[in-house]
Amino acid sequence: MRPWVFPLLLLALLEAAARWLVPGSDALAPPSQALLAFGKALSASGDDSVLQATAFTLSSAALGLLLGAALGVTLGLVLGLSRRAAAMGFLSIEVLRPVPSVALIPLAMLVFGFGYRMEISVVAFATFWPLLILTQAAARQVEPQLLEVAHALGLSAWARTTQIVLPAMVPRLFIALRLGVSFALVVAVTVEIAANPSGMGYAMMIAQQSLAPDLMLAWLAWIGVVGFAINALTLRLQRAIAHRMGEPRTGVAP
Amino acid sequence: MSSAVLQSSTRGRATTESVAVLVCLLALWWLASHLQWVSKVFLPTPEATLESLVQGLSTGELAGFTWDTVVRMLLGWLLASAIGTALGALIGASATARTWIAPTLEFLRPLPASAVMPLAISLFGLSGGMVLSVVAFGAMWPVLLATVHGLASVHVRLREVATALQLSRTAFVFKIGLPNALPDILAGMRLSMTVSLIVAVVGEMIASQSGLGQAILLAARSFRASELFAGIVLLGAIGFVSNALLALLEHQFLKWQRH
Amino acid sequence: MSESPLLRFDQVGIHLGGREILSPTSFEVARGEFVCIIGPSGCGKTTLLRAAAGFLQPSGGAALRHGKPITGPSREVAFVFQDYGRALLPWRTVAGNISLALEAAGVPAQQRPDRIAKVLDTVGLGAHATKFPAQLSGGMQQRVQIARCLAQEPELMMMDEPFGALDAMTRESLQDEVSRLVRSTGLTVLFVTHDLEEAIYLSDRVIALRANPTADKPSLAAMVEVKIARPRDQLLTKEHPEFLRLRRELYGFLGHH
């Protein structure tokens, strides 16, 4: 109950302010009206529907993450397992990594126009880097004692990698994945706000442009709810994996 | 994405091999553009990019855009850091405040910083002030959350020392809480800078404000790929330099940690 | 001086987490006394110390200082924690850490350097004023904590197994240092330890506590005077017949059965 008190207080303040302080404002709408507007949007169908927009954002985020993760984890494994490879790739990574993903939005627009592919490519670029870095770190952080055991048992490099290093990395990989999921969502919505005329971000922009502050607030809240829900789900999954892989319940970094 | 691992990246030095790899990648770019593996409309040659870069900088045009973006980013970041630390200190200093407010903060954490832009447009119109306000608001959260966390993580022993010495609440925050939170706050400020740059660029794109964001958007719309790439290079440079400077700052401030 | 004892526990009982940690216990500590509290783990010696320092309230009975109930911590009562590493500010130098006590007491900035230097000399750390705690050994860090406590100019010093985390040699030298300090300042000390020999060596009186008190076996198991002359010596005193007698008498109270 307690976590709800403060937000409900804020919502009540907003309700009062939007109703009596600045009624008819283009910017602020009472949360009650926002709820109504959202209800209407839910029952709508076609391109404007909530389902369509949410599905678009979630699927482009997911596909972008898949691509970015596939490349990032693979390269991260290579760089994490081989010090030489890491040293070789260092400069190129340091040069390319600082490019903000939003800088690629116009390029993606140029190449793909608007729609799925443009958003997926930007999300893929954005999520590639954190997954690369985190996978590399996860590979490096495998308990040295485990590696000593592998050596003592005379395991081949392949066996050592598949039997010891990879399984040991799994909990940290899932942490990286969880962070990647929330990041992918953020990037996807940002692309929609900046340029792409589809998805939840765009729906929010349209609501603002049509001077419908109630719908705009509703979309903002919905984006928050979806993000929160996805994060909570992936956190559960990450914890379940960590538990399954034998990590202690407490002390697993968030 | 506040993992310190991300920020410190791969600690290493530029070996000759890594330079060779970079040169190879550049060569690949050269080949791909000259052999038209990718259309020149999308992928300009390295020389064309360099030419656009040099030209844009010497005429002052690109330099002007870069300056506009950097100023926007820095101003927003400074505001965000100041407000974020102050608000974070207020919330974090009191265990009661933390209990009631922390869950809301956790809910707000995954929201994209640019998400309040429509609201800001309604309030302030399409202006530089609007962009700055969204930059400051969006970049505030990493610092705020870091400050709250840093204050909350003061070890119970230090709290007891403070109680035994009868330190006032304000004295506790300034002498113990904030110094304890400093590593977290600095990490938060680094993350803040990244957010500042992103939101500044997005804001420029949406609100047609002078800067690199608008420049690359216009370049894309007019199919001027070399100018687009020049702008991307500059944005990368801004990201690189700002991060490097902040890392240096962090290094200075946290000298006591390395003993 | 006929005044109320510095510290008085009047049938003080403490319940924590639903358990009776300390059954109603009474004792007095006079000014200038060095009292050690010993007992097996879980006997409530740290809890008793914290109650005396004002960190927690008794569930029953009254804890009094100068005849007045102890309502909370006070600058007159200094507390030395066992985990010195956690009790020092890692981002401040040794001098800075001492300064914290003076700042808290509102000592003007001009007076601080002299007082810091004085108290650092007392514990023999004058040469290390500009070092950070992480650069010091465990024994030195503990001395910094003690110095900070002395800077408070307290009348009562509580010490919670302060030397428990140190090696034997450092422990012995710090024991002697504390004894010397206490004699020269006239400080009253309440010292918790699980080390019987340390307790007898340092104190004027030893209080032994029992774990899991019952009606016929209350927390307070024994209270004995240590009538061995000062100054004491690590080698000679420990061979003193009175020392050995006390050791035999109190041995059982540490739960060795």
Residue B6: is its pLDDT beyond 70?
no
Give the pLDDT score at B1: 38
CB burial of A178-207 (b: ≥16 within 10 Å; e: otherwise) equals bbbbbbbbbbbbbbbbbbbebbbbbbbbbb
In eight-state DSSP terms, residue C128 is: G
Same domain flag for B34 and B99: no
Non-local (6+) Cβ contacts of A106 within 8 A are: A195, B205, B216, B217, B219, B220, B221, B228
Structure tokens at A98: 């600082």
Residue of B nearest to C135 (CA): B259
Query: Chain B: nearest CA to C255, how far in angstroms?
Result: 29
Cβ of B165 within 8 Å of Cβ of C75? The answer is yes
Dihedrals phi, psi of C78, to nearest 5 degrees: -95, 145
Same domain flag for B247 and B137: yes
Give a yes or no: residue B168 inside a domain.
Answer: yes
Q: How far is CA A56 from CA A37, A47, A49, A66, A102, in A?
A: 20, 10, 11, 15, 19
Query: What subunits make at least 3 CB pairs under 8 angstroms with C?
Result: B
C132 vs B164, B176, B256: nearest CB: B256
Structure tokens at C221: 């198991």
Cβ of A183 within 8 Å of Cβ of B1? The answer is yes
Give a yes or no: residue B1 inside a domain.
Answer: no
Structure tokens at C146: 């003690």
Query: What subunits make at least 3 CB pairs under 8 angstroms with A?
Result: B
Give the pLDDT score at B15: 80
Same domain flag for B86 and B204: yes
Sort out which chain A residues have CB atoms less than 8 A from B13's CB and list them. 87, 90
Query: Chain A: nearest CA to B114, how far in angstroms?
Result: 6
The pLDDT-based confidence of B7 (bands split at 50, 70, 90) is very low
Chains C and A touch (3+ CB pairs under 8 A): no
Residue of B nearest to C73 (CA): B164
Give the pLDDT score at C77: 94
Helix residue ranges per DSSP H, B153-177: 156-164, 169-172
Q: To 10 degrees, the CA torsion angle through B106, B109, B110, B114?
A: 150
pLDDT digits (tens, 9 = 90+) for C193-242: 999 999 999 999 999 998 888 888 888 989 999 999 888 999 999 999 99
User: Across the B/C interface, how many CB contacts are shorter than 8 Å?
Assistant: 55
Same domain flag for B109 and B189: yes
Give a yes or no: residue A10 inside a domain.
Answer: no
Give a yes or no: residue A7 inside a domain.
Answer: no
Structure tokens at B16: 């000759």
What CATH number is given to the structural domain containing A126? 1.10.3720.10
What CATH number is given to the structural domain containing B184? 1.10.3720.10
Cβ of C89 within 8 Å of Cβ of B179? The answer is yes
Secondary structure (DSSP) of chain A? -HHHHHHHHHHHHHHHIIIIISTT-SS---HHHHHHHHHHHHH--GGG-HHHHHHHHHHHHHHHHHHHHHHHHHHHHHHHH-HHHHHHHHHHHHHHTTS-GGGGHHHHHHHH-SSHHHHHHHHHHHHHHHHHHHHHHHHHTS-HHHHHHHHHTT--HHHIIIIIIHHHHHHHHHHHHHHHHHHHHHHHHHHHHHT-SSHHHHHHHHHHHTT-HHHHHHHHHHHHHHHHHHHHHHHHHHHHHHHHTT--SSS---
Q: Tally the domains of chain B.
A: 2
Sort out which chain C residues have CB atoms less than 8 A from B155's CB and list them. 86
Give a yes or no: residue B228 inside a domain.
Answer: yes
Residue of C nearest to B253 (CA): C91
pLDDT digits (tens, 9 = 90+) for B78-99: 999 999 999 999 999 888 889 9
Scanning the structure block, which residue is given the tokens 């503990």? C142
Give the pLDDT score at A210: 92
Exposed/middle/buried for residue C176 (C-beta within 10 Å: 0-12, 13-18, 19+): middle
Helix residue ranges per DSSP H, chain B: 4-8, 16-34, 46-58, 61-93, 95-108, 117-124, 128-152, 156-164, 169-172, 178-207, 212-221, 225-253
The pLDDT-based confidence of B3 (bands split at 50, 70, 90) is very low
Other beta carbons within 10 Å of B12: 16
CB proximity under 8 Å: A 82-101 to B: 84, 86-101
Structure tokens at B56: 């844009």
Distance CA C13, CA C25 (A): 6
Same domain flag for B146 and B215: yes
Residue B8: is its pLDDT beyond 50?
no
**Can you point out the beta strands (E) in chain C?**
7-16, 19-29, 34-38, 60-65, 68-69, 77-80, 156-160, 188-192, 205-209, 220-225
Distance CA A144, CA B222 (A): 55
In eight-state DSSP terms, residue C230 is: S
Same domain flag for B204 and B234: yes
A102 vs B3, B99, B201: nearest CB: B201
Structure tokens at A180: 């990647």
Task: Tell me the pLDDT of chain A (254 aa) as tens digits.
Answer: 788 889 999 999 999 998 888 888 888 899 999 999 898 888 876 555 888 899 999 999 999 999 999 999 999 999 988 888 999 999 999 999 999 999 999 999 999 999 999 999 999 999 999 999 999 999 888 878 888 888 888 888 788 778 888 888 888 899 999 999 999 999 999 999 999 999 999 999 999 999 999 999 999 999 999 999 999 999 999 888 888 887 765 544 44
Scanning the structure block, which residue is given the tokens 């216990």? C25
Are the C-beta atoms of residues C146 and C134 closer than 8 Å to each other?
no
Bridge partners of residue B144, in order along the sequence? none
Distance CA C164, CA A213 (A): 65
Helix (H) or strand (E) holding C101: helix C94-104
Structure tokens at B22: 């970079």
Helix (H) or strand (E) holding C94: helix C94-104
In which domain, by residue range, is A208 found? Answer: 49-244
Distance CA B107, CA B104 (A): 5
Cβ of B155 within 8 Å of Cβ of C53? The answer is no
How many separate helices (H) and strands (E) can be counted in chain C? 8, 10
Distance CA B183, CA A66 (A): 33
Residue B4: is its pLDDT beyond 50?
no
Q: To 10 degrees, the CA torsion angle through A116, A121, A126, A131?
A: 100
Give the pLDDT score at B175: 96
Give a yes or no: residue B78 inside a domain.
Answer: yes
Q: Tally the domains of chain A.
A: 1
Query: Chain B: nearest CA to A18, how far in angstroms?
Result: 13
Altogether, the residues listed in chain A come to a count of 254
CB proximity under 8 Å: B 151-170 to C: 155, 157-158, 160-161, 163-167
Give a yes or no: residue B3 inside a domain.
Answer: no
Distance CA A54, CA A150 (A): 47
C104 vs B160, B171, B179: nearest CB: B171
Are the C-beta atoms of residues B36 and B42 closer than 8 Å to each other?
no
Same domain flag for B14 and B118: no
Establish if B3 touches chain A: CB-CB under 8 angstroms. Answer: yes
Cβ of B171 within 8 Å of Cβ of C91? The answer is no
% of chain B beyond a pLDDT of 90: 80
- Pick the more confident residue, A156 or B113: B113
Same domain flag for B105 and B231: yes
Give a yes or no: residue B2 inside a domain.
Answer: no
Which candidate in C91, C136, C160 is best for mutational testing of the B interface (most B CBs within 10 A)?
C91
Mean of per-residue pLDDT scores for chain C:
92
Give a yes or no: residue A156 inside a domain.
Answer: yes
Cβ of B161 within 8 Å of Cβ of C87? The answer is yes
Cβ of A99 within 8 Å of Cβ of B236? The answer is yes
pTM of the complete model: 0.88
Bridge partners of residue C12, in order along the sequence? C25
Residue of C nearest to B176 (CA): C89
In eight-state DSSP terms, residue C185 is: H
Same domain flag for B236 and B209: yes
Same domain flag for B12 and B102: no
pLDDT digits (tens, 9 = 90+) for C132-174: 999 999 999 999 999 999 999 999 999 999 999 899 999 999 9
Average pLDDT of the residues in B9-16: 61
Average pLDDT of the residues in C57-73: 92
Query: Chain A: nearest CA to B167, how far in angstroms?
Result: 29
% of chain C beyond a pLDDT of 70: 98
Cβ of B157 within 8 Å of Cβ of C83? The answer is yes
B175 vs C75, C87, C100: nearest CB: C100
User: Which of these, A123, A138, A250, lies nearest to A199 by C-alpha position?
Assistant: A123
Same domain flag for B89 and B205: yes
Same domain flag for B20 and B67: no
In eight-state DSSP terms, residue C192 is: E
In which domain, by residue range, is B31 found? Answer: 8-40
Sort out which chain C residues have CB atoms less than 8 A from B176's CB and list them. 89
User: Across the A/B interface, how many CB contacts are shorter than 8 Å?
Assistant: 192
CB proximity under 8 Å: A 206-225 to B: 207-208, 211, 213, 216-217, 220, 223-224
- For residue C218, how many C-alpha atoms fall within 13 Å in the half-sphere facing its CB? 12
Sort out which chain C residues have CB atoms less than 8 A from B161's CB and list them. 79, 81, 87
Give the pLDDT score at B36: 87
The pLDDT-based confidence of C3 (bands split at 50, 70, 90) is low
CB proximity under 8 Å: B 174-203 to C: 175-176, 179-180, 182
Exposed/middle/buried for residue A2 (C-beta within 10 Å: 0-12, 13-18, 19+): exposed
Query: Chain B: nearest CA to C215, how far in angstroms?
Result: 33
Distance CA B69, CA B56 (A): 15
The pLDDT-based confidence of C246 (bands split at 50, 70, 90) is very high
Sort out which chain B residues have CB atoms less than 8 A from C83's CB and list them. 157
Q: Are strands C68-69 and C19-29 parallel, antiparallel or unpaired?
A: unpaired
